[in-house]
Amino acid sequence: MAGVQPTSSLGGPSAPRINDLAFKIGTVNGTGSASANGLLRQAIFRMGIPVSGKNLFPSNIQGLPTWYEIRASGKGHTARTARFDLVVAMNPASYARDIEETTTGGWVLHDSSWPLPRDLTREDVRFLGIPLAKMAVDNFQGSRIRVLMKNICYVGALAALLKIDIDIVKELLTETFASKPKLLDSNFLAIDLGYDYARDAFDCPLPVHLEPMEENHDSILIDGNTAAALGCLYAGATVAAWYPITPSTSLVDAFTAFCLRHRKAPDTGKNRFAILQAEDELAAAGMVLGAGWAGARAFTSTSGAGLSLMGEFIGFAYYAEIPAVFFDVQRVGPSTGMPTRTQQGDIQFVAYASHGDTKHIVLFPADPRECFDLAVQAFDLADRYQTPVFVLTDLDIGMNDWVVPKLAWDDEYRPDRGKVLSSDELEGAESFHRYLDPDGDGIPWRSLPGVHPKGAFLTRGSGHDRYGNYTEDSEPYTDVMDRIRRKIDGAAPRLPAPEIHVRDGVSLGLVTVGSCRGAVLEAVEALRNRGVAVNYLRVRAFPFHPQVEDFLEKHKVVFVVEQNRDGQLRNLLVAETGVPKRRLVSVRYYGGLPMSCHHVIDGIAPYLDPEPATGPISTHSSSDPDARTAPALQGADP
C-alpha cells in the first residue's frame, strides 16, 4: 500500500463505543459525492439509529472543497459535533484541515492511490489507506462513472469499518436504480470493492461503530425546505412568487414538484396553482401581496438578502393589512455574507421589518417537522390577523436532513380564512368600511375584489382612516395605527406556545430558538450530568407568548442561546418583556456552522460557580467572548 502506514502512539485501539459517533467526508464540489453521502445517512437511518447529516458546501458549482458530516447517536443527539471519530479525506486540497479535525484516537480514511504528504501525518490518529481512485480506474470505464464509483467505493469501505448494514445499503441502491440495471450493477460492484478491501486490510469493524436499533419506526429523514413546501401544499397555498436564492430555493423547487404531482385538475390536467419566478424579490413580494389581496393563499420563500429587498412591501402589507406568508431561510449576513453557511441573523430585522412602526408575527421552527406544522399555521395566522407572517428557519434546518417524527395530517382541518365578507353578507350590510373594528379585537373585516360592489375600497400604503380613506390628519391616522398594534399584540397568546422543560426549584434558565434546539438540549443533559440543573424554554413565536415572560421571571439567570453576533433574541426579550436586562446572559455562536453542544457549554461555563477542571463535556472551540453581558452570578445555581 502506498502512502503513510497506519500508526498509533496512543496506546492501542480506542475504547469501544457503539452508536455514538461522528464522521465527515471531505470531497470536491461537483463530483457526485452527495448521493454517496446520502446513501450512508439513509442506511444508518434504516438501521434504526438516530442520525443527522450536515452538508457544508461552498457557494460554487464545481471544484471547491465540500464536506458532509454524519452523526449517529443512540441517545438522539443529532446536533452538529466538532468531534470526528473518522474522517474520509477525498480531497487533497482539504487534507490538512480534514486530518487536523480528526479527534485523537480516531481514523483518517484516505485515497492511497497517491502517497499522502508526509507532513500531514499525525501520531495520534490512524491512517487507513484505500486505493480508491485505482479501484475505480481498474473496474469502470469513462471518467464520470469512475469519479462517481470512487465515492461509492468509500461507502462500501465505511460500511465495513463502521458496521453499516451492507444489505440495507444495497436495498437503497436497488430502490434508486430500479430502472437502470446497468448503473445498479456498477454501484453494487463499487460497494463490494470498498467493502472487501476494508475487510481484508483492516480490523473491521472499528471499535467505534454502529449496531441496529429500533428508534426510527415512526420517523422520517427530511429537510426543512421540503417539509415547509409540504406545509404550503397542505395549507392550500395556490400562489408562490419567488426569486432564486440560496438556501431557500429548494423550498419552491419542492413546492413545484409536489404541486405537479398533487395539484393537477384530474379532468383537464390544468394547474390548481401558479408559481411565479419573479424578476427580483421586490416583485416576488408584490405578487404575493396582490394575490393575498385578491384572496389566494400566497407565499414567498427567500433568505435575508431577499427579505431586505422586500422591506417596503412588508411595511405595506402590515399597514394595509394584507395576508402574506414569508419564509426566510436564514443564511449568514450581513450583506451577501456567507450564502452557504447558517445563522440566525435576521431575528431582529424580521420582527420590525420595514420603515415606520411595524411589528410582525414571526414563527420559529426548530426542525423540519415544525417547518411543516408552522407553515400551515402561518397561513391561518396571516388570514386571521390580515398581516404578513414570517416563518424563520435557517440553512441548517432548510437544507440538511433531520430525523423527525412523521408528519401528521388531520383531514378535519379547514383553513381559517379569517374575517372575509361574503357576497351575501355585503349585500345585506348597510355599508362596508375596511378598517373598522366592530368586534373589538383590533381585527377588521375585509372584502375581496370581484365579490360585490359594496365591498369596494382602495387599498393604500398612504395614511388612511378607519374608513379606508386617505388622510393626513393626526387623529384618524393614530386611530388606525393603535388598532393595528392592538391586533398584533392580541395575537401573542394565540401563537405557538414555547417548548418548555422545567423542574421546580431550578433558578437557572436557558432560552433558545430555532435550530439551536438540538445543541441546547444536549447541553442541558450534559450540564445535568455535571450537577448543574437548567430549565429550558424554546421560543416558537414573536410577539412573545405570555409563557415566555413567565419563564424569564421565574429564573434568577437566563442564558439566551442563539446564532448571531449581537444577541438578537435577547435584545427582543429585553425590548418586549419587563425582565431586567442584566438577568439575561447572551450565549452566542455565529461562525456559520450549525450550533454544537460545546458552544452552549462554553458560553455558560464562565458564569457558573467553581467548576471541576475537567468534565465529561467536550469544549473544543475557543469560547465566545462576551464583554457586554458579564454579570456577576454569585448566588446563581448550582
Report the C-alpha gap between 282 and 301 in whole angstroms. 12
Per-residue DSSP letters for 301-324? EE-HHHHHHTHHHHHHHHHHT--E
Q: Supply the minimum distance, in Å, between the C-beta of residue 447 and another protein.
A: 8
Q: Supply the minimum distance, in Å, between the C-beta of residue 51 and another protein.
A: 13
Calculate ∠ Cα 560-610-622, nearest 5°.
55
Interaction between residue 296 and another protein (CB under 8 A): yes
Among 280, 357, 482, 609, binds another protein (CB under 8 A): 280
Question: Do 247 and 399 touch, CB atoms closer than 8 A?
Answer: yes
Q: 116-155 mask for another protein (x: CB under 8 A)?
A: ----------------------------------------
Q: 198-227 mask for another protein (x: CB under 8 A)?
A: ----------------------xxx---x-
Among 194, 295, 333, 398, binds another protein (CB under 8 A): 295
Among 287, 378, 392, 605, binds another protein (CB under 8 A): 287
Q: Count Cα neighbours of 414 within 13 Å in the Cβ-side half-sphere.
A: 3
Give 219's contacts (C-beta < 8 A, 6+ positions apart). Answer: 45, 403, 404, 405, 406
Q: Which of residues 440-469 bind another protein (CB under 8 A)?
A: 447-462, 469
> Which span (59-67, 113-121, 408-416, 595-603) binds another protein, by CB under 8 A?
408-416
CB neighbourhood size of 336 (10 A): 11
Interaction between residue 470 and another protein (CB under 8 A): yes
* Residue placing its CB nearer to another protein in the complex, 263 or 419: 263
* Residue placing its CB nearer to another protein in the complex, 60 or 271: 271
Report the C-alpha gap between 395 and 391 in whole angstroms. 13
* Residue placing its CB nearer to another protein in the complex, 216 or 571: 216
Among 104, 271, 336, 623, binds another protein (CB under 8 A): 271
CB neighbourhood size of 205 (10 A): 19
Residue whose cell numbers read 463530483: 31
Q: Which of residues 582-621 bind another protein (CB under 8 A)?
A: none
Among 184, 282, 500, 633, binds another protein (CB under 8 A): 282
Report the C-alpha gap between 378 and 79 in whole angstroms. 26
Instruction: Write the CA distances from 488 to 357, 362, 379, 459, 626, integer angstroms.
Output: 12, 11, 15, 19, 33
Q: Supply the minimum distance, in Å, between the C-beta of residue 253 and another protein.
A: 15
* Residue placing its CB nearer to another protein in the complex, 182 or 261: 261
CB neighbourhood size of 332 (10 A): 25
Strand, helix or coil for residue 568 = helix
> Which span (136-144, 161-169, 288-296, 616-624) binds another protein, by CB under 8 A?
288-296
* Residue placing its CB nearer to another protein in the complex, 72 or 585: 72
> Which span (192-200, 339-347, 412-420, 517-525) binds another protein, by CB under 8 A?
412-420
* Residue placing its CB nearer to another protein in the complex, 58 or 398: 398
Instruction: Write the CA distances from 235 to 21, 75, 373, 413, 414, integer angstroms.
Output: 38, 34, 10, 9, 9
> Which span (19-27, 132-140, 285-293, 385-393) binds another protein, by CB under 8 A?
285-293
Among 116, 276, 353, 381, binds another protein (CB under 8 A): 276
Interaction between residue 268 and another protein (CB under 8 A): yes
Interaction between residue 413 and another protein (CB under 8 A): yes
Q: 309-348 mask for another protein (x: CB under 8 A)?
A: ---xx--x--------------------------------
DSSP state of 98: H
Interaction between residue 279 and another protein (CB under 8 A): yes
Strand, helix or coil for residue 195 = helix
Question: Do 297 and 235 touch, CB atoms closer than 8 A?
Answer: yes
Pairing of strands 219-223, 208-209: unpaired
* Residue placing its CB nearer to another protein in the complex, 210 or 230: 230
> Considering CB under 8 A, how many residues would be counted as binding another protein?
77
Instruction: Write the CA distances from 382 to 32, 71, 95, 237, 390, integer angstroms.
Output: 41, 37, 49, 12, 9
Among 43, 157, 193, 233, binds another protein (CB under 8 A): 233
Among 28, 132, 208, 283, binds another protein (CB under 8 A): 283
Report the C-alpha gap between 452 and 111 in whole angstroms. 72
Interaction between residue 278 and another protein (CB under 8 A): yes
* Residue placing its CB nearer to another protein in the complex, 263 or 486: 263
Among 121, 246, 256, 471, binds another protein (CB under 8 A): 471
Question: Do 381 and 491 touch, CB atoms closer than 8 A?
Answer: yes
* Residue placing its CB nearer to another protein in the complex, 67 or 379: 379
Interaction between residue 290 and another protein (CB under 8 A): yes
Residue whose cell numbers read 454502529: 210
Among 123, 200, 214, 411, binds another protein (CB under 8 A): 411
* Residue placing its CB nearer to another protein in the complex, 17 or 272: 272
Q: Supply the minimum distance, in Å, between the C-beta of residue 236 and another protein.
A: 4
CB neighbourhood size of 214 (10 A): 8
**Ramachandran category for residue 117: left, alpha or beta (phi over 0 → left; psi -120 to 50 → alpha):** beta
Interaction between residue 241 and another protein (CB under 8 A): yes
* Residue placing its CB nearer to another protein in the complex, 138 or 413: 413
Question: Do 478 and 433 touch, CB atoms closer than 8 A?
Answer: no
Interaction between residue 384 and another protein (CB under 8 A): no
Interaction between residue 432 and another protein (CB under 8 A): no
Among 293, 326, 327, 590, binds another protein (CB under 8 A): 293
CA dihedral sign of residues 537, 542, 547, 549: positive
Among 262, 556, 581, 582, binds another protein (CB under 8 A): 262
620-628: long-range pairs with CB below 8 Å, 24+: 620/82, 620/83, 620/596, 621/82, 621/596, 624/587, 624/588, 624/589, 624/599, 626/585, 626/586, 626/587, 626/588, 628/567, 628/586
Q: Which of residues 474-493 bind another protein (CB under 8 A)?
A: none
Interaction between residue 236 and another protein (CB under 8 A): yes
Interaction between residue 273 and another protein (CB under 8 A): yes
Interaction between residue 96 and another protein (CB under 8 A): no
C-alpha cell at 327: 419564509
CA dihedral sign of residues 561, 562, 564, 567: negative
Q: Which of residues 21-60 bind another protein (CB under 8 A)?
A: 45-46
CA dihedral sign of residues 139, 141, 143, 149: negative
Among 201, 274, 481, 579, binds another protein (CB under 8 A): 274
Question: Do 418 and 384 touch, CB atoms closer than 8 A?
Answer: yes
C-alpha cell at 236: 392550500
Among 15, 61, 178, 265, binds another protein (CB under 8 A): 265
